[in-house]
Amino acid sequence: MDHSAIESGTAHVNGTQLYYEACGSGRPVLFLHGFTLDHRMWRTQVEALASRYRVVTYDARGFGRSMVPDTTPYRHYEDAAALCEYLGLRRVVVVGHSIGAHQVLELAIARPELVSGLVMICTSGLAGIPFPDDVTKMFADIRAAASEGSVDAAKKIWASATWFVARENPALARELDAILADYSGWHWTHANPAKGLEPAAAERLGELRIPALVVEGGRDLAYNALNAQMLLERIAGAARLSLPHCTHMANMDDPDPVNAAIAALADRCVEA
């Protein structure tokens, strides 16, 4: 891929500033990253798909090169919609990872005229499915470490989770460590005024009438497997891609089948 062809910029939208990168032409595909991550987690997807589609990645509010929140309430899916409008994207295929998968789900429900297809990878955050006790404790330990002035210590706890990344893959571990090193830790040391869709997306899955794909990693949290099952049961016609050997970072662990599945869904949207 010719990286000189990547356009980058900062969109002043929805009361914030969002860093984005875009390349390619054709059906627009928008990627939303997971927590502590940024647009770089989609590197292999961009390289594989930019020859066929208009691929856009960006850093959500508070991550990467985008502006951190202030005290004003906001919604991530509204930021995503505003970015699409800023870039002139229509009938977008949206792809999200972890909490980003929940956000693209909210976007598809709130703005059905904007979204033509939906890919959710290792989804987290659905209402009605509580985090297990050990994960809740891990989050509490992370916030305690960060609030005591050591964001680096908090990052070590986060990175040590075996469901998060396969450490036996040194190249992938280094790539994720580099992204995590650049995370500010803001969400661990501040009260985040982010709001969700109301009523909650989990209560409105039956409204979706677009091609949808649910990707799950067999080595991810069992909690996320429950999220995937809910999506598959409640979204009419949703397809499933199960990757038993993958962790929470399924699109980075084994990008080829994920890329192929995204392309197949995007092509279905073109035909629809």
Alpha helices (runs of H) in 88-164, residue ranges in sequence order: 99-110, 133-147, 151-159
The answer to whether residue 145 scores a pLDDT higher than 70 is yes
Tell which residue, 244, 235, 184, has the closest CA to residue 217: 244
Kindly state the percentage of the chain with pLDDT values over 70: 97
Architecture of domain 3-130+192-271: 3-Layer(aba) Sandwich (3.40)
Measured CA to CA in angstroms, residue 184 lies from 62, 121, 179, 254 at distances of 8, 24, 10, 27
The answer to whether residue 272 scores a pLDDT higher than 60 is no
The answer to whether residue 3 scores a pLDDT higher than 60 is no
163 or 67: which leads in pLDDT: 67
Rounded to whole angstroms, how far apart are CA atoms 200 and 208? 14
Find the range with the poorest average confidence among 165-179, 197-211, 221-235, 257-271. 165-179
Whole-number average pLDDT of the chain: 94
Task: Please state the rounded mean pLDDT for residues 104-109.
Answer: 98
Task: Please state the rounded mean pLDDT for residues 9-15.
Answer: 97
What burial class does residue 251 get, using C-beta atoms within 10 Å of its C-beta: 0-12 exposed, 13-18 middle, 19+ buried? buried
The confidence band for 1, taking pLDDT boundaries of 50, 70 and 90, is low
The tokens describing 53, both together, are 């589609």
The confidence band for 271, taking pLDDT boundaries of 50, 70 and 90, is low
Q: What angle do CA 17, 110, 84 make, to 5 degrees?
A: 35
Q: pLDDT for 47-73, tens place per residue?
A: 999 999 999 999 999 999 999 999 999
3-state helix, strand, coil in the chain (%, to 5): 45, 20, 40
Q: What is the pLDDT of residue 161?
A: 83
The answer to whether residue 170 scores a pLDDT higher than 90 is no
Alpha helices (runs of H) in the chain, residue ranges in sequence order: 43-49, 76-87, 99-110, 133-147, 151-159, 170-182, 186-189, 222-234, 250-253, 255-271
The confidence band for 248, taking pLDDT boundaries of 50, 70 and 90, is very high
Q: What is the pLDDT of residue 173?
A: 87
Instruction: Specify the DSSP class assigned to residue 17.
Output: E
